[in-house]
A = this chain, B = another copy of it.
Amino acid sequence: MASSINVLSQEQMKINPELQKERNKASFNVQELISILDGGPKRTKRRKELEQLLFTDPVFTNPDRHFMSKSELYEHGVEKSVRLFQLKRKYQWSEDDYTLAERLLRKEISLSLHHTMFIPALERLATDEQKAKWLPLANSCRILGAYAQTELGHGTNILALETTATFNQATDEFILRTPHITSMKWWPGGLGKSCTHAIVLAQLIIHGKNYGLHPFLVQIRSLEDHSSLRGITVGDIGPKLAINTVDNGFLKFHNHHIPRDHMLMRNAKVSRDGKFVSEGNSKANYATMILVRVNMTEWAANILSGSVTIAMRYSCIRRQSSLKQGVEEELVINYQSQQYKLFPALASAYALLFTSRELHQYYDRVYPQITKGNYRQLGELHSQSSALKAMCGELAVYHAEICRRACGGHGYLWSAGIGEAVAGCNTIITAEGENTVLYQQTARYLMKQVASVVSGQEVGGYTAYLNTDNIYTNPINTSQHCRDLNILAGIYQNMAASVIKKTAHKLHHDMSSGLEQHVAWNNNMINLVKAAQVHSHLSTVLAFITSLDNLISSQPIKSALTLLCQFYAIYGITNNSGDFIETSSISVYQLELLRAEEIKLLSEIRPDAVALVDAFDIHDETHGSVLGKYDGNVYHHLYQSALREPLNKTDVSITGNVTFCILV
């Protein structure tokens, strides 16, 4: 069995009896759910093998990470990256293995973007000839790459990037220039200190004419001694809220020359005599960015499941106050308000895991078609991945932060592990398309779908619910109705359809009254964003519901997760009740029924609280939290961690002199 192959087995430690009691209450077999979530027992086994390999290696188990300065974090992150590359080669890991290993290390390595952005971009942007030359170098890390798109002055508006690559026919070269301070590359991960090469997005200028943005492979640093090349100024942009293992960088070009064949020419070519020929289809690049967003939903799900694991275990050993004088202090998980903090987080973690998995499968279905030149589903894939990247990021940060606060004072310690996770997860909200901007992309798609429906065309896929007309009366009248997932789904669909159609109607009305399209769009922007949000929220509810049937065969597990799914759906209604009442999707009376049911569900979920987080089976080294370890010996771990604090290396930190100097 799983535990036998893991020498570091979490199960073998001395377990806090409070946690053991919780575990004994589980209504289902936790190992079975672990397997389901991993995607089968083989994958569980493989994960445990990797955990054993990584977490017996001192490079990956540094307990002093919390105390490192940014420079130390970077250096340590490089060391981890190097070891990871070595292991990959030594054990001939598959891509899946490597991705899993990165996840187990919470992506806390420095050179991850070489693997997750540079190589994929090279694969999609280079010609076959260029690939033959560069990919072997990249895959064996003889060159290290960054993907340099964003500039100081432009992130969202890619088309307005200012870096130029001017063709010089005389020397058969491109000359790269950074015309203004705002044109400096700024943000690319790995660019600051690590990379030897970067794919640089720049405006292509030939004989004075601008041919738009194109990618160029530019060497940044020497392969001999890693010094930066002449004509290039490069460095790190400074401390960030988190992910300080990665050297996000800036880059300036001072008339830097590169050979013509360093333009990545899969989609467009420049010939020796300066002729520009567009080839291939740029939409295929698009699909790469979509993949990154799909991956981000998984990251969000992982962060949230980690955070709720920590807070749930801690709440099941922390006793504080008594409800009644004179009796033993209560476990804080037994306070209703504490359950109302953690169970929504737990339910959301499952919702996000299932949503992310479904989105991944959808991507895997559509992407091969796109590479074959069939773009029919690209619009919807773009819409879904944008909205869900945004929504999953926001939900994860929101609930993980509640988990942090639910740990009281100790949750404010870095060693609690949640603060850093939340700060890291905040990246998802901003990077790879700022959320408000992405929601608008989805809104554009939704408006188009409504237009189709209005014009009498039926729409399919993720927006099929827009086909039905708005007149809807939900039948909720009893407690049982409140648990009916079909009814709950119907309520969400009705609400979302109403909000979206109302927005479309208003937009249409404003334009009919003479407003220019862009003015009307801006005047309705709040509602357009809202439309995309309710659509994405609905998508998560539906993903949870369908996953119950698709993934789970064990009846006890299905029962436990059904409670969680009901709770997720009801909580989403009671906490956004205005949206549902305003759209007549529920009545005030029905809302009361739902609230009563929500409270009943708290106590039904309660016995499985710990089992349901144990099922995420996150290794102690992965979540790196003194509060959330499998053994639950919280106070011991808190104290051990404090003893390592560098200030405690010496007894005296301020000398008598200081005190004396205040005095005189």
* A661 to B141 CA separation, bound complex (whole angstroms): 9
A160 within 8 A of B: yes
Interface residues of A in 407-440 (CB under 8 A from B): 408-409, 411-415, 419, 423, 426-427, 429-431, 434-437
* A235 to B607 CA separation, bound complex (whole angstroms): 39
* A405 to B393 CA separation, bound complex (whole angstroms): 12
* A320 to B155 CA separation, bound complex (whole angstroms): 8
Pair A521/B67 contact, Cβ less than 8 Å: no
A239 partner, pick from B66, B223, B427, B588, beta carbons under 8 A: B66
Pair A414/B238 contact, Cβ less than 8 Å: yes
A638 within 8 A of B: yes
A82 partner, pick from B160, B436, B635, B658, beta carbons under 8 A: B658
Pair B654/A226 contact, Cβ less than 8 Å: yes
A555 within 8 A of B: no
A337 partner, pick from B411, B427, B529, B635, beta carbons under 8 A: B529
Chain B residues near A334 (CB, 8 Å)?
A: 522
The copy count of this chain in the complex is 2
* A140 to B340 CA separation, bound complex (whole angstroms): 49
In the complex formed, the residue of B with least CB distance to A663 is B142
A477 within 8 A of B: no
A164 within 8 A of B: no
Pair B238/A413 contact, Cβ less than 8 Å: yes
Q: Given the known A-B contacts A82-B658, A582-B577, are A156 and B320 also in contact in the complex, defined by CB atoms under 8 Å?
A: yes
A344 → chain B, closest Cβ, in Å? 11
A568 within 8 A of B: no
A94 within 8 A of B: no
A359 within 8 A of B: no
Pair A225/B434 contact, Cβ less than 8 Å: no
A218 → chain B, closest Cβ, in Å? 17
Pair A71/B646 contact, Cβ less than 8 Å: yes
B-contact 0/1 string along A171-196, CB 8 Å cutoff? 00000000001101011000011101
A651 partner, pick from B227, B337, B659, beta carbons under 8 A: B227
A645 → chain B, closest Cβ, in Å? 4
A7 within 8 A of B: no
A579 → chain B, closest Cβ, in Å? 8
Pair A522/B247 contact, Cβ less than 8 Å: no
- Among listed A146-154, A207-215, A373-381, A484-492, interface-contacting one: A146-154
Chain B residues near A580 (CB, 8 Å)?
A: 578
A323 within 8 A of B: yes
A427 → chain B, closest Cβ, in Å? 7
Pair B157/A240 contact, Cβ less than 8 Å: no
Interface residues of A in 434-487 (CB under 8 A from B): 434-437
A144 within 8 A of B: yes
* A247 to B645 CA separation, bound complex (whole angstroms): 11
A5 within 8 A of B: no
A652 within 8 A of B: yes
Chain B residues near A591 (CB, 8 Å)?
A: 578, 582
A442 → chain B, closest Cβ, in Å? 14
In the complex formed, the residue of B with least CB distance to A137 is B663
A659 partner, pick from B86, B223, B576, beta carbons under 8 A: B223
B-contact 0/1 string along A61-92, CB 8 Å cutoff? 00000110111001100100010011000000
Interface residues of A in 318-352 (CB under 8 A from B): 320-324, 329, 334-338, 340-341
A123 → chain B, closest Cβ, in Å? 20
Q: Given the known A-B contacts A74-B647, A578-B578, A659-B223, are A336 and B408 also in contact in the complex, defined by CB atoms under 8 Å?
A: no
Pair A225/B656 contact, Cβ less than 8 Å: yes
Pair B238/A321 contact, Cβ less than 8 Å: no
Pair B436/A412 contact, Cβ less than 8 Å: no
Interface residues of A in 512-529 (CB under 8 A from B): 516, 518-519, 521-526, 529
Chain B residues near A142 (CB, 8 Å)?
A: 659, 662-663
Chain B residues near A75 (CB, 8 Å)?
A: 653
Chain B residues near A144 (CB, 8 Å)?
A: 659
A67 partner, pick from B239, B336, B599, beta carbons under 8 A: B239
A4 within 8 A of B: no
A237 within 8 A of B: yes
Pair B152/A635 contact, Cβ less than 8 Å: yes
A643 within 8 A of B: yes
Chain B residues near A553 (CB, 8 Å)?
A: none
Q: Can you list 21 A-B pairs, Cβ within 8 angstroms, ordered by A?
A: A70-B645, A71-B646, A71-B647, A74-B647, A86-B661, A142-B662, A153-B635, A156-B320, A186-B638, A187-B409, A223-B656, A226-B659, A235-B643, A321-B437, A323-B519, A405-B430, A577-B579, A578-B578, A578-B581, A581-B581, A582-B591
Using CB atoms and an 8 Å cutoff, list the residues of chain A in contact with chain B.
66-67, 69-71, 74-75, 78, 82, 85-86, 140-142, 144, 150, 152-157, 160, 181-182, 184, 186-187, 192-194, 196, 222-228, 235-241, 247, 250, 320-324, 329, 334-338, 340-341, 405, 408-409, 411-415, 419, 423, 426-427, 429-431, 434-437, 516, 518-519, 521-526, 529, 576-582, 588, 591, 599, 635-636, 638-639, 641-648, 651-656, 658-659, 661-663
- Sorted nearest first, the 5 A-B pairs with minimum C-beta distance are A577-B578, A141-B662, A323-B518, A336-B525, A193-B653
